[in-house]
Structure 1
Protein backbone atom coordinates (compact mmCIF):
# COMPACT_ATOMS: atom_id res chain seq x y z
CA UNK A 1 0.00 0.00 0.00
CA UNK A 2 1.17 3.54 -0.67
CA UNK A 3 1.78 6.27 1.83
CA UNK A 4 0.11 9.66 1.92
CA UNK A 5 2.38 12.64 1.34
CA UNK A 6 2.13 16.28 0.39
CA UNK A 7 1.28 16.45 -3.31
CA UNK A 8 0.43 19.12 -5.83
CA UNK A 9 -2.78 18.51 -7.81
CA UNK A 10 -2.14 17.60 -11.43
CA UNK A 11 -4.87 20.09 -12.41
CA UNK A 12 -7.49 22.25 -10.74
CA UNK A 13 -9.75 22.23 -13.80
CA UNK A 14 -11.37 18.80 -13.26
CA UNK A 15 -10.63 15.13 -13.88
CA UNK A 16 -7.43 15.16 -15.91
CA UNK A 17 -8.45 12.06 -17.88
CA UNK A 18 -11.97 13.35 -18.64
CA UNK A 19 -10.51 16.69 -19.71
CA UNK A 20 -8.24 14.86 -22.14
CA UNK A 21 -11.00 12.63 -23.58
CA UNK A 22 -14.01 14.95 -23.37
CA UNK A 23 -15.66 12.95 -20.57
CA UNK A 24 -17.73 14.20 -17.65
CA UNK A 25 -17.42 13.73 -13.91
CA UNK A 26 -19.52 13.97 -10.75
CA UNK A 27 -16.92 14.45 -7.99
CA UNK A 28 -13.13 14.60 -7.93
CA UNK A 29 -10.46 12.66 -6.02
CA UNK A 30 -6.76 13.47 -5.59
CA UNK A 31 -4.17 10.69 -5.41
CA UNK A 32 -2.14 11.17 -2.25
CA UNK A 33 0.92 9.59 -3.87
CA UNK A 34 1.25 11.75 -6.99
CA UNK A 35 -1.53 14.38 -7.12
CA UNK A 36 -3.44 12.83 -10.05
CA UNK A 37 -6.96 14.29 -10.14
CA UNK A 38 -9.50 11.68 -11.20
CA UNK A 39 -13.26 11.32 -11.13
CA UNK A 40 -15.14 9.37 -8.46
CA UNK A 41 -16.89 6.01 -8.71
CA UNK A 42 -20.22 7.77 -9.33
CA UNK A 43 -18.75 9.27 -12.52
CA UNK A 44 -19.09 7.38 -15.82
CA UNK A 45 -15.37 6.59 -16.21
CA UNK A 46 -14.23 6.17 -12.57
CA UNK A 47 -10.74 7.48 -13.36
CA UNK A 48 -9.59 7.79 -9.72
CA UNK A 49 -10.18 4.08 -9.08
CA UNK A 50 -8.62 3.17 -12.44
CA UNK A 51 -5.52 5.19 -11.48
CA UNK A 52 -5.30 3.38 -8.12
CA UNK A 53 -5.50 -0.02 -9.86
CA UNK A 54 -2.99 0.89 -12.58
CA UNK A 55 -0.32 2.51 -10.40
CA UNK A 56 1.31 0.41 -7.69
CA UNK A 57 1.35 2.22 -4.34
CA UNK A 58 -1.28 4.78 -5.36
CA UNK A 59 -4.06 3.37 -3.18
CA UNK A 60 -4.85 6.50 -1.17
CA UNK A 61 -6.97 9.35 -2.50
CA UNK A 62 -8.67 12.28 -0.83
CA UNK A 63 -11.79 14.11 -1.82
CA UNK A 64 -10.94 17.10 -4.01
CA UNK A 65 -14.32 18.68 -3.34
CA UNK A 66 -14.55 22.00 -1.45
CA UNK A 67 -15.46 21.51 2.21
CA UNK A 68 -14.82 17.76 2.24
CA UNK A 69 -12.07 16.42 4.51
CA UNK A 70 -11.81 12.66 4.05
CA UNK A 71 -9.78 10.09 2.16
CA UNK A 72 -10.29 6.60 0.75
CA UNK A 73 -8.01 3.58 0.59
CA UNK A 74 -8.80 1.64 -2.58
CA UNK A 75 -6.74 -1.40 -1.53
CA UNK A 76 -8.57 -1.87 1.77
CA UNK A 77 -11.90 -0.26 0.77
CA UNK A 78 -11.56 1.92 3.87
CA UNK A 79 -12.85 5.44 4.57
CA UNK A 80 -10.29 7.62 6.36
CA UNK A 81 -11.44 10.56 8.50
CA UNK A 82 -9.24 13.21 10.14
CA UNK A 83 -8.67 13.03 13.89
CA UNK A 84 -10.32 15.96 15.57
Structure 2
Protein backbone atom coordinates (compact mmCIF):
# COMPACT_ATOMS: atom_id res chain seq x y z
CA UNK A 1 0.00 0.00 0.00
CA UNK A 2 1.07 3.59 -0.55
CA UNK A 3 2.92 5.40 2.22
CA UNK A 4 2.22 8.97 1.13
CA UNK A 5 -0.87 10.99 1.95
CA UNK A 6 -3.41 11.14 -0.86
CA UNK A 7 -5.81 14.10 -0.96
CA UNK A 8 -9.35 12.74 -0.70
CA UNK A 9 -8.40 9.72 1.42
CA UNK A 10 -8.68 9.95 5.22
CA UNK A 11 -7.23 6.77 6.76
CA UNK A 12 -8.80 7.68 10.11
CA UNK A 13 -12.39 8.04 8.82
CA UNK A 14 -14.47 5.40 10.56
CA UNK A 15 -16.55 3.15 8.31
CA UNK A 16 -20.18 4.15 8.02
CA UNK A 17 -21.65 0.83 9.04
CA UNK A 18 -22.13 -2.76 7.95
CA UNK A 19 -24.54 -1.97 5.09
CA UNK A 20 -25.46 0.65 2.52
CA UNK A 21 -26.49 3.80 4.37
CA UNK A 22 -28.94 4.82 1.63
CA UNK A 23 -30.62 1.43 1.27
CA UNK A 24 -30.93 1.01 5.03
CA UNK A 25 -32.44 4.50 5.32
CA UNK A 26 -35.24 3.53 2.93
CA UNK A 27 -33.93 5.13 -0.27
CA UNK A 28 -34.50 2.42 -2.84
CA UNK A 29 -35.34 -1.25 -2.64
CA UNK A 30 -33.40 -1.88 0.57
CA UNK A 31 -30.87 -4.38 -0.76
CA UNK A 32 -27.48 -4.28 -2.49
CA UNK A 33 -25.13 -6.45 -4.51
CA UNK A 34 -21.73 -5.34 -3.19
CA UNK A 35 -20.72 -2.60 -0.77
CA UNK A 36 -18.19 0.19 -1.16
CA UNK A 37 -16.74 2.72 1.26
CA UNK A 38 -15.92 6.37 0.60
CA UNK A 39 -12.30 6.91 1.59
CA UNK A 40 -12.81 10.55 2.58
CA UNK A 41 -15.68 10.11 5.03
CA UNK A 42 -16.20 6.38 5.56
CA UNK A 43 -19.78 6.34 4.21
CA UNK A 44 -20.84 2.88 3.10
CA UNK A 45 -22.83 2.65 -0.13
CA UNK A 46 -23.94 0.07 -2.63
CA UNK A 47 -21.89 -0.50 -5.79
CA UNK A 48 -22.84 0.49 -9.33
CA UNK A 49 -24.18 -2.99 -10.06
CA UNK A 50 -26.72 -2.49 -7.27
CA UNK A 51 -30.14 -1.02 -8.15
CA UNK A 52 -29.63 2.40 -6.52
CA UNK A 53 -25.85 2.92 -6.82
CA UNK A 54 -25.63 4.88 -3.57
CA UNK A 55 -21.82 4.95 -3.51
CA UNK A 56 -21.69 6.83 -6.81
CA UNK A 57 -24.61 9.05 -5.80
CA UNK A 58 -22.58 10.11 -2.74
CA UNK A 59 -19.63 10.95 -4.99
CA UNK A 60 -21.88 13.15 -7.13
CA UNK A 61 -23.37 15.02 -4.16
CA UNK A 62 -20.42 15.19 -1.75
CA UNK A 63 -17.53 15.17 -4.21
CA UNK A 64 -15.60 12.44 -2.37
CA UNK A 65 -13.76 10.82 -5.29
CA UNK A 66 -12.06 7.78 -3.77
CA UNK A 67 -13.89 4.56 -3.10
CA UNK A 68 -12.74 1.18 -1.85
CA UNK A 69 -14.39 -2.21 -1.64
CA UNK A 70 -16.11 -3.50 1.51
CA UNK A 71 -15.80 -7.05 0.26
CA UNK A 72 -13.47 -9.29 2.32
CA UNK A 73 -10.05 -9.71 0.74
CA UNK A 74 -10.41 -6.85 -1.76
CA UNK A 75 -7.94 -4.00 -1.37
CA UNK A 76 -8.25 -1.39 -4.08
CA UNK A 77 -9.06 2.29 -4.45
CA UNK A 78 -10.83 3.83 -7.40
CA UNK A 79 -11.12 7.51 -8.16
CA UNK A 80 -14.66 8.00 -9.49
CA UNK A 81 -13.62 11.28 -11.12
CA UNK A 82 -10.88 9.71 -13.23
CA UNK A 83 -12.01 6.06 -13.13
CA UNK A 84 -8.42 5.11 -12.29
CA UNK A 85 -7.59 2.32 -9.84
CA UNK A 86 -4.67 2.76 -7.46
CA UNK A 87 -3.13 1.69 -4.20
CA UNK A 88 -3.79 3.65 -1.03
CA UNK A 89 -3.23 3.66 2.71
CA UNK A 90 -4.70 1.19 5.19
CA UNK A 91 -8.08 2.50 6.35
CA UNK A 92 -9.58 2.38 9.85
CA UNK A 93 -11.16 -1.01 10.57
CA UNK A 94 -13.30 -2.78 9.86
CA UNK A 95 -12.30 -2.84 6.21
CA UNK A 96 -15.08 -5.16 5.05
CA UNK A 97 -18.69 -5.97 5.81
CA UNK A 98 -19.33 -8.54 8.56
CA UNK A 99 -18.29 -12.06 7.52
CA UNK A 100 -21.76 -13.41 8.27
CA UNK A 101 -23.49 -10.88 6.01
CA UNK A 102 -24.59 -12.47 2.74
CA UNK A 103 -23.81 -11.10 -0.70
CA UNK A 104 -26.09 -9.76 -1.96
CA UNK A 105 -27.54 -8.46 1.26
CA UNK A 106 -28.88 -7.83 3.75
CA UNK A 107 -30.37 -11.19 4.68
CA UNK A 108 -34.11 -11.28 4.24
CA UNK A 109 -34.30 -8.24 1.93
CA UNK A 110 -32.91 -9.62 -1.31
CA UNK A 111 -35.59 -10.54 -3.90
CA UNK A 112 -35.47 -13.97 -5.54
CA UNK A 113 -34.93 -12.37 -8.95
CA UNK A 114 -32.05 -10.17 -7.76
CA UNK A 115 -29.80 -11.13 -10.70
CA UNK A 116 -32.28 -9.63 -13.16
CA UNK A 117 -32.30 -6.37 -11.18
CA UNK A 118 -28.58 -5.65 -11.33
CA UNK A 119 -27.27 -2.73 -13.36
- The interval holding the TM-score normalised by the smaller chain is 0.7 to 0.9
Aligned match of 2:68 = 62
Q: CA deviation at 1:16?
A: 0.9
More strand by share: 1
Contiguous gaps of at least 5 residues in structure 2: 1-6, 89-119
2:23 corresponds to 1:18: yes
Moved over 6 A (4+): none
* Higher RCO, Cα 8 Å, sep 6+: 2
Alpha-carbon distance, 1:78 to partner: 1.1
TM-score (ref. length: structure 1): 0.86
Question: How large is the RMSD of aligned CA atoms in angstroms?
Answer: 1.3
Q: C-alpha distance in 1, partners of 2:51/2:75?
A: 23
| Counterpart check, 1:76 vs 2:82 | yes
Provide TM-score, normalisation by structure 2: 0.62
The answer on 1:3 being equivalent to 2:8 is yes
Larger radius of gyration: 2
How many residues align? The count is 79
Structure 1: state its 5+ residue gaps.
Answer: none
Secondary structure at the counterpart of residue 61 of structure 1: strand
